[in-house]
Each structure stands twice: as structure tokens, then as C-alpha cells.
Amino acid sequence: MEPADSLPRAPRRPIPVWAKPLAAIFVWGAALYLLLNFFGSVKMVLLDFLAACALAAMLRPLTDRMPGPQWLRGAVVGLGFIVVVAAALAGLGWLLAKPVEKQMAQWPELRQHLDRLLESIGQRFGLHNLTVGTLLHRFATFATGGSSGEGASPAAGVAGAATRVISHTAEFASDLGVTLALVFVGSVYLLIERRGRLTEPLIQMVPMPRRADLGGFFADLEPQLRGWLVGVLFSMAIIGGLSWLGYWIVGLQFALPLAIFAGAAEIAPNIGALTATAVTALVAATQGPGILAGVLVVHSITLFIEAHFITPLIMRRAVDIPPVVTIFSVVLWAQILGFGGLILAIPLDLLIWTALDRFVRHSHAPNFVPDAPRSVPSLAREEGP
């Protein structure tokens, strides 16, 4: 009998090594990180372009179903969407004007209730001088990077905080106006241009073996962005409507503005829902323990509906990303890109996730044959009238 060491062994299958593509991804990621940190204005432009791509991807099926030349269909759909959004905002402002004006007259009384509530909480946890004014002062100091002003009087500190908040609010409003203009105008341009006009030059710049991968990446990304934006809009509408109905049933003051805030907060994954819950609970605590308990029940119901119905039926089918990745990436993108990264955390995840799936996992699968891009037309193809 031959010894065990002399027996022939079956050849081992080599383990695939992804060092080269992962190293390339790391280098590109490091370069992008340095670019975004040393050129701050590039952040807003790239995020606005990503948002415009998502909006154009959502409206693209409407242009495909309309007759006529591409530029006319894109202009009608894009400009029509802008008109609808402007009309909705105008109607919402008209609807909220009188209720907000009436309820804002109760703000001094509400502030007194909040001061007493915060003072009792501060005494329980050993926090001194905890009021609405000091919280605004500390928040403005943290948000604007100003000095804390510990030696100044509380009134002077609050006045300085209010000045910084007004200044940064005006700056934020200006940036928001520019962002909305770039997003809407960019989406209209993307709808007017024929499909593949921007991606074809990029595909021609890469080596021939990678062109199919890059074309497939663009083809896979478009429905992902469309699904994310549609899912977010549905989630905002459902959560806002359910919140308003629940607030109205429990008798909460500021029910409609707080419900709109709860719906709008859905655009920021996870953090938005927690923020809306904390703000609403703080307002409800000034109206009695019964109102607070009712509000907490309403938020528990909406969170249950979101977790078991909205996310599985809408978001999970549209965005195939593990939830744990979304939870941690929201904080990461917010730290790197600021408020825009918080809002567009999931589209940024989709961008990276689709690239990894196409260039790493898909291209290293056994018997892989590159598939042709599904939504990138040939250079010789022209859009008909």
C-alpha cells in the first residue's frame, strides 16, 4: 500500500483574486474623496447632477410613451413637471397660511410650556439653564462653528445665535434655490437629449473589453434611480397623510405642519423619521401626557406600516441594498458631503453598489460573457422624428 503522501491529488481550483479591480476602486474612491474635500464647490455640482439624473430617470417612461420628436416630448414632460410642482407648492402654501398664522400666535404660550418642560428635564438629569433659548444658542453654535460665548449673558448669547441662524438660513436658502434650478433645468436637458448622448463618449473612452460593462452599468443604474425616487415620493405621501390623520384624531396642535414635516423627513433615511418623532413628541409633551401618548402611538403605527408595508413593497423592490448598508452609509455621506449627502445617501449607495455588481462580481462570475448595454444606443443610431 502506497503512503498517503504519494497518492495523486486532484488539482486545486485557483481562488479568484479581486486585488486589481478592488485596488482600482480604492484609488478612484480616494481620488474622489480628496477632490470633494479640497474643492467644496464640486460637491454641490455632482450632487445636483445625480439628483437631476434621478428625476430624469423617473420621468423618462412618460417621454417614451408620448408621440413626436424627442426634444418636444422631453420639453413637455420636464416643463410640465416643473409647473405641477410649482402649483402644488403654491396650493400647499395657501392651505397652510391661515392655520400656521393662527397657531403661531400661540407660540409664546407654547414656548413657556417648553421652557418649563426642559427645565424639569434638566433638573432631573443635572443640566442647568436648559431652555428653548439656550438650545437654539447651542445648536446655532454647533451648526455655524461659532464660539460658545460662555462669558456673555444668556440674552446676548441668544441674540448672537439668532443672528448666525438668520445669516446661515439666508445662505442655505440661496444654495437651495441654485440647487433646485440646476436639478430641474438639468433634468429637462437630460429628457430633451436622446438616450445615450452623454454616456456614449464615456463608453468610447474605456478599453474595448470594458465597454460592455460600462454600458451595462449605465443601463442598470437608471431603473434603480427611478425606483428610489418613486419609492421616496410614495413614502412621503403615505407617511404624511397617516401622520396628519393620527395627529388630528389625538387632538395635537400644529397637526398639519408637523404632519408635513414628518412626510418631508422621509427623504432622509432613518434619521428623518427619528427627527420627526423627537420634534413631534417634544411639542406634544407641552399639551399633556395624553397627547404625548397618542402621538407616540401614532408614530409607532406609522413606523410599523413603513417597516412592514412601504419598505418591502416599494423601497425594497426598487432599491436592492441591504438595510444595514443604508443605515451606516447615511451617516458616512452626511459627514463627507453634508446635508446633500444625507438626502442623496441611497442614490450614492446605488451608484457604488451597481458599479461593484457590474465591474467586480458580475465580471468575475464563472463563464461570464459581457452583455450588451440595454439602454445605450449605437453611435450610428439617430432619434427619429
* pLDDT (tens digit per residue) in 12-71: 555 454 555 666 667 777 777 777 666 667 788 888 899 999 999 999 999 988 888 888
The most confident of 6-10, 35-39, 87-91, 209-213, by mean pLDDT: 87-91
Instruction: Look at residue 206 and tell me whether its pLDDT is greater than 70.
Output: yes
* pLDDT (tens digit per residue) in 228-259: 898 889 889 999 999 999 999 998 888 888 89
Domain positions in the chain are: 41-195, 197-375
Q: For 64-92, what is the mean pLDDT?
A: 89
Higher pLDDT, 7 or 230: 230
pLDDT at residue 297 in the model = 92
Q: HEC states along the chain?
A: CCCHHHCCCCCCCCCCCCHHHHHHHHHHHHHHHHHHHHCHHHHHHHHHHHHHHHHHHHHHHHHHHCCCCHHHHHHHHHHHHHHHHHHHHHHHHHHHHHHHHHHHCCHHHHHHHHHHHHHHHHHHHCCCCCCHHHHHHHHHHHHHCCCCCCCCCHHHHHHHHHHHHHHHHHHHHHHHHHHHHHHHHHHHHHHHCCCCCCHHHHHHHCCHHHHHHHHHHHHHHHHHHHHHHHHHHHHHHHHHHHHHHHHHHHCCCCHHHHHHHHHHHHHCCCHHHHHHHHHHHHHHHCCCHHHHHHHHHHHHHHHHHHHHHHHHHHHHHHCCCCHHHHHHHHHHHHHHHCHHHHHCHHHHHHHHHHHHHHHHHCCCCCCCCCCCCCCCCCCCCCCCC
pLDDT at residue 80 in the model = 92
- With beta carbons less than 8 A apart as the criterion, state whether 70 and 63 touch: yes
* pLDDT (tens digit per residue) in 288-321: 888 889 999 999 998 888 877 777 666 666 666 6
Instruction: Look at residue 383 and tell me whether its pLDDT is greater than 50.
Output: no
d(CA 359, CA 29): 14
pTM (global) more than 0.85 = no
* pLDDT (tens digit per residue) in 111-148: 777 777 777 777 776 666 777 666 666 655 544 444 44
Work out the mean pLDDT of the chain and round it to a whole number.
75
d(CA 266, CA 241): 12
pLDDT at residue 372 in the model = 46
* pLDDT (tens digit per residue) in 358-370: 777 655 554 444 4
pLDDT band at 198 (very low <50, low <70, confident <90, very high): confident
d(CA 267, CA 231): 10
